Homo-oligomer: A and B are copies of this chain.
Amino acid sequence: MREVSIIGIGQTKVSEHWDVSLRHLAWEAVRAALNDAGVKHVDGLYVGNWLGGLLSGQEQLGALIADFVGMRGVEAVKVEAAGASGAAALRQAYTAVASGLMDIAVVVGVEKMTDRIGSPVQAALATGVDSDYEAAQGVTPAALAALLMRRYMYEYGLTLADFAPFSVNAHQNASTNPNAMYRNKITVEAYLKAPMIAEPVNLFDAAPAADGAAALVLCPAAIARDYSQKPVRIAASAIATDALALHDRPDPLFLTAANLSAGQAYEQAGIGPEDIDVFELHDAYTILAALTLEATGFAGRGEGTRLAADGSIGLKGRIPISTFGGLKARGDPGGATGIYQAVEVVLQLRGEAGPNQVEGARWGMAQNLGGLAATAVTHIFTRQ
């Protein structure tokens, strides 16, 4: 297996893009990434997407987007793992380059969720949880997150206020990210007054559905400097899975897949959580942020919220998370989210994060979850 580096990144603004189609969004991100890399010829395309069929009536996005971005003919497929589709597609692109199958691979995550409203979107999002045993009973993803959050609060004697700092931090960081969906800062007071979605999950605990696309260009590390002055090496890539249904998990408050894939990633990279300088985690709900910090070795059981309370997750803290706003405030365009996370880590490692910069960041991690962490994809990146 060859070492693989990222030589180009691109992203659209995360927003409600009612004026353009799915393929157009993808094109915008891919074009930006190809320009960034200065690449002309591409060997293959991997598309991370979850809801193209359900919300845009369009599948076979591999061939469609390859054609639309000017790569007609190349190998191209869509990879799907609900909210983890983006990073799952990155994993396939990484493997293609690492194996020697391709020299230049492009991965694009793209999602368009806001063209429709209400029940079609809720039904589409419910395809990420267990259809027969959860969704069919009327339990939405937000309601499942609420079950986790309530149990967590009960087990560890916490209140709603303990989760506020995750949301405050995300909005603070999004305020200086021009691509973020919500650039408004929020206060603890505003968080505590937010309307409930599925008690105790409130509006500021949950990430917004959004439209967006982000892209990466990958090549063997050995030739990365031919294209980029600041290549970023993919030091680890790992996917692990868990039962979709919460009731099938022996210990629902421990994200087993997140733990497994992070563990594999640390081993591949030869480092541990203590070495990670920036961590883009999957804060689709504040409870997932807390549980992820615990599953990935940054906090003990029941101590995830403490890292938020004491400032550790801030840009100048011990383990900065959601440095461009995270899913919560940058926005969560489903199958594109995992690539946004990777793009943001690359910006940090290149030192190009502007007001969102984590000073001296050398190792960055991104973890993308599908459903309530039934799929967990972890990548570790470092300056080449």
Contact A242/B74 with A21-B132, A60-B375, A100-B1 known, Cβ cut-off 8 Å: no
Chain B CB within 8 A of A54 CB: yes
Contact A240/B371 with A53-B51, A81-B63, A82-B59 known, Cβ cut-off 8 Å: no
Chain B CB within 8 A of A332 CB: no
- How many residues on the A side are at the interface (Cβ–Cβ under 8 A)? 65
Chain B CB within 8 A of A116 CB: no
* Cβ contact within 8 Å between B63 and A242: yes
Closest chain B residue to A89, Cβ basis: B77
Chain B residues lying within 8 Å of A62, measured Cβ to Cβ, are 80-81, 88, 241, 375
* Cβ contact within 8 Å between A79 and B78: yes
Chain B CB within 8 A of A124 CB: yes
* Cβ contact within 8 Å between B60 and A77: no
Chain B residues lying within 8 Å of A96, measured Cβ to Cβ, are 95
Rounded to whole Å, the gap between the CB of A362 and the closest CB of chain B is 26
Chain B CB within 8 A of A126 CB: yes
Closest chain B residue to A24, Cβ basis: B132
Chain B CB within 8 A of A135 CB: yes
* Cβ contact within 8 Å between A95 and B99: yes
In A334-378, which residues have CB < 8 Å from any B CB?
A: 370-371, 374-375
6 interchain pairs, CB-CB under 8 A: A1-B100, A67-B242, A73-B256, A75-B239, A78-B80, A98-B99
A: residues with CB less than 8 A from B are 1, 21, 23, 50-54, 56-64, 66-67, 72-82, 84, 88, 91-92, 95-96, 98-101, 123-124, 126-128, 130-132, 135-136, 238-244, 248, 256-257, 260, 370-371, 374-375
